[in-house]
Structure 1
Amino acid sequence: MFKRILLPTDGSELSSRAVLAGVSFAKEVGAELVGMTALPDFKAFTADAEMLESTEDEYLAVSEARANKRLAPLVDAARAAGVACTAMLVRSDDPHEAILRTARDRGCDLIIMASHGRHGLSGVLLGSETQKVLVHSSIPVLVYR
């Protein structure tokens, strides 16, 4: 049914639970996983405190370490379950676009991701990356709550 599943993570607790569910699902259906996290590119002019205090090289090294920390639980869970997994850092200011582009470029036929469950005005104002993926995806999206 599904051959390659994209499993994006932002390192949050909800995302971590979705990762475990995604690994279990991939094992069940015999699919391979593509794990990814998205972090912004370095900008010289920004309000992001991590970029303000860093050179580009320092920021890139720190952000790569942060991505590895986010992706390590996914890679470890996949290894423990015997599921083939590729993990990647995608640089983008728009996580939902990075998710959709990665799914397309890597030939994924399903996206599994967490929903942070924001409702009402906070959901509208803050915007939901999951909602944006749902609206724009041409492949199925399984939302883990």
Structure 2
Amino acid sequence: MFKHILIPVDGSELSLRAAKVGIEQAKLTQGKVTALHVISPFRTISYMGTILAATEFAYNEEAKANAERYIEQVKMLADAAGVPFEGVAEFGDEPYDTIVQTCKARQADLIVMGSNGWRGMTRLLLGSETHKVLLRADVPVLVCH
């Protein structure tokens, strides 16, 4: 069945619930899990470079610390279940693309993720990362609500 499960996490309660489901599935199939947090790059305006460089450094450090915290939450769940675990944090402009590319690169055979973080008009305008993954992934995607 599924031997390597990719679990994208964003720190939300929904992604943590999805992580629990992914870990349970890995335990049933004696597989392993990889937790992935995609960090959006710092966006800048080209002028005022000196000020923005300091701000970008602070942003990157805080984003990495958040990623470590989110991944550590999943690691604790995997360790408690006795499931082999790996955690990855990647910078990426488009989270869905980073998820799909990481899945391919790490040869995962299932993606387990939360339904979405956006609601209402924002979802209509920006779309759902989960929906984009569903359309582009070459492996099954288990969506958790």
Q: Normalization by structure 1: what TM-score?
A: 0.87
| Residues 1-41 of structure 1 deviation map (CA, whole Å, 9 limit, x = unaligned) | 11111000011111111111111111111110011000122
Task: Answer yes or no: is 1:104 the counterpart of 2:104.
Answer: yes
| Contact preservation (8 Å) 2:35, 2:74 | yes
| Residues 87-131 of structure 1 deviation map (CA, whole Å, 9 limit, x = unaligned) | 010100211001001000001011001103867755322310000
Identical positions, percent: 38
Structure 1 unmatched runs, 5+:
none
Q: Distance in 2 between matches of 1:65 and 1:125?
A: 29
Q: Distance in 1 between matches of 2:117 and 2:61?
A: 32
Aligned to 2:31: 31
Two-structure CA RMSD over aligned residues (Å): 2.2
Q: Distance in 2 between matches of 1:69 and 1:118?
A: 22
Q: Normalization by structure 2: what TM-score?
A: 0.87
Q: Distance in 2 between matches of 1:65 and 1:3?
A: 29
Aligned residues: 141
Instruction: Tell me which amino acid in the other structure corresponds to 2:60.
Output: L
Aligned to 1:76: 76
Task: For residue 17 of structure 1, give the secondary structure of its aligned residue in structure 2.
Answer: helix
Aligned to 2:62: 62
Task: For residue 83 of structure 2, give the secondary structure of its aligned residue in structure 1.
Answer: coil
